[in-house]
Amino acid sequence: MNALAATNRNFKLASRLLGLDSKLEQCLLIPFREIKVECTIPKDDGSLATFIGFRVQHDNARGPMKGGIRYHPEVDPDEVNALAQLMTWKTAVANIPYGGAKGGIGCSPSDLSISELERLTRVFTQKIHDLIGVHTDVPAPDMGTNPQTMAWILDEYSKFHGYSPAVVTGKPIDLGGSLGRDAATGRGVLFAAEALLRDHGKSIAGQRFVVQGFGNVGSWAAQLITEQGGKIVAVSDITGAIKNKNGIDIASLLKHVKENRGVKGFHGADSIDPNSILVEDCDVLIPAALGGVINRDNAKDIKAKYIVEAANHPTDPEADEILAKKGVVILPDIYANSGGVTVSYFEWVQNIQGFMWDEERVNTELKAYMNRGFKDVKDMCKTHNCDLRMGAFTLGVNRVARATTLRGWEA
Ligand SMILES: NC(=O)c1ccc[n+]([C@@H]2O[C@H](COP(=O)([O-])OP(=O)(O)OC[C@H]3O[C@@H](n4cnc5c(N)ncnc54)[C@H](O)[C@@H]3O)[C@@H](O)[C@H]2O)c1
């Protein structure tokens, strides 16, 4: 099942539990606006190249739309649509005053020079500057984009609208980025895992974790879990997979990855088949790489007791059913990885206030948001007698439905 079909299915299940009427359901499901633009730039050799950029703005009932911009050769409109919708439910679960959006440009960033990437980002911004804004739609980095990309968008947007640091988040600190944003999603994953384990009478210390993906989210989560006494027994990335049942020394692995651009060849662990990473023996599995990796082919072999979804939509609905029967508890993406967008919200607040917080305040506020989020999700599980995924979906969908209804329907 593709990402959009899976997201729509979860939305409809939640809508049924909430008893929403069909007109409201339609209104919540269909995106507010879908933008598709042609971006032509001169390449460094003087030839012209054309790329297609787009932005799906899903919903703004609770506040400005919020979501990443990705640069990837296979930017798939259906997936971006699903991710925009997931952002709407995620910001509502986190209880931050935003809606949801997502966008991207179909390009291979590694095949473009820095100046070509800058020109492409500026042309894309010129095409959409009237449709984004501090109180309209606030982009952020995603796959293939980074704080530098946000700096170019900020600069180009400001040519049309004046100095507007809050128009994007995930900026470099020198341009108004927030302290703690880099680690925020991984730190949020730690707080989410802590809340889940606490609910089951356990703590991070002494639990064995497997992490798929050792990029921004996976490496921060692994580092912070280790600091709390958790044991990371296996890790994988695009270059390979490694395992050490006594626990991997994450500080040494980080050094190795910096020098070798991947986990492959790390001496402090044994190399294993990357296809086996998700079915390795552990207490907590953290998928932090791609969508759709847990599916009907591998779900029955998963040995973890808990899955904390750091990646977006890593679990297929069919796998959800198989894992539920096995008693595996899944902490869903729209709660578990919401630490990133929550600190993006703190960045936006700091920019609007013109007052920068210290990192301790950012981390303390993030912990409070993640703990409140877990309690709110659990309350919905009790009300609707459902699992954590439906608890999170009913929580998010209900908050957006209430805001939409309160705004009223009169034209
Ligand atoms: N960065 C954020 O703030 C944030 C927020 C919410 C959700 N997410 C989601 O978390 C996931 C990871 O994001 P990120 O920012 O860490 O990305 P990243 O690009 O920094 O890291 C991705 C990691 O996944 C690895 N990977 C890629 N293909 C793989 C494969 N086939 N097998 C194993 N590993 C593979 C890469 O080698 C890399 O280590 C994505 O699903 C993203 O949408 C990220």
Could you report the average pLDDT of every consecutive run of 10 residues in the chain (411 residues)?
90 97 95 97 98 97 97 88 96 98 96 98 98 98 94 98 97 98 97 98 98 96 98 97 98 97 97 97 97 96 98 95 97 98 98 98 98 98 98 98 92 62
Same domain, 149 and 240: no
144 DSSP 8-state letter? T
Q: Of 61, 101, 98, 52, give the one whose Cα is nearest residue 80.
A: 101
C-beta of 237 in contact with ligand 1 (< 6 A): yes
Same domain, 131 and 219: no
How much distance in Å is there from the Cα of 42 to the middle of ligand 1? 31
Domain boundary among 298, 318, 335: 335
Same domain, 141 and 280: no
Is 12 annotated in a binding site? The answer is no
- pLDDT given at position 121: 98
Same domain, 149 and 195: no
Same domain, 123 and 203: no
Q: Give the domain CATH number at 293.
A: 3.40.50.720
Number of domains in the chain: 2
Do the Cβ atoms of 324 and 348 come closer than 8 Å?
no
C-beta of 29 in contact with ligand 1 (< 6 A): no
Sheet holding 329-331, edge to edge: 270-272, 240-243, 231-237, 208-212, 284-287, 306-308, 329-331
How much distance in Å is there from the Cα of 238 to the middle of ligand 1? 10
Among the options 102, 171, 231, 243, which is catalytic? 102
- pLDDT given at position 411: 62
Active site residue 367: no
Tokens 């991710």, residue?
A: 83
Name the residue range of residue 110's domain. Answer: 31-166
For the beta carbon of residue 76, count every other beta carbon within 10 angstroms. Answer: 15
Sheet holding 100-106, edge to edge: 33-42, 48-59, 100-106, 65-72, 137-141
- pLDDT given at position 219: 97
| Strand spans (E) along 164-222 | 208-212
- pLDDT given at position 143: 85
Same domain, 61 and 147: yes
> Is residue 92 situated within a structural domain?
yes
C-beta of 212 in contact with ligand 1 (< 6 A): yes
Pairwise CA distance, residues 236 & 265, whole Å: 12
C-beta of 311 in contact with ligand 1 (< 6 A): yes
How much distance in Å is there from the Cα of 263 to the middle of ligand 1? 14
Same domain, 156 and 218: no
For residue 143, the ligand 1 atom closest to its alpha carbon is: 19
Is 239 annotated in a binding site? The answer is no
Same domain, 135 and 59: yes
Do the Cβ atoms of 140 and 83 come closer than 8 Å?
no
The β-bridge partners of 65 are 137
For residue 340, the ligand 1 atom closest to its alpha carbon is: 3
> Is residue 289 situated within a structural domain?
yes
Same domain, 256 and 192: yes
C-beta of 213 in contact with ligand 1 (< 6 A): yes
User: Tokens representing 234?
Assistant: 């296996």
CA distances for 173 relative to 159, 267, 302, angstroms = 21, 35, 40
- pLDDT given at position 78: 87
> Is residue 7 situated within a structural domain?
no
- pLDDT given at position 3: 87
Write out the H or E segment, with its range, that includes residue 50.
strand 48-59
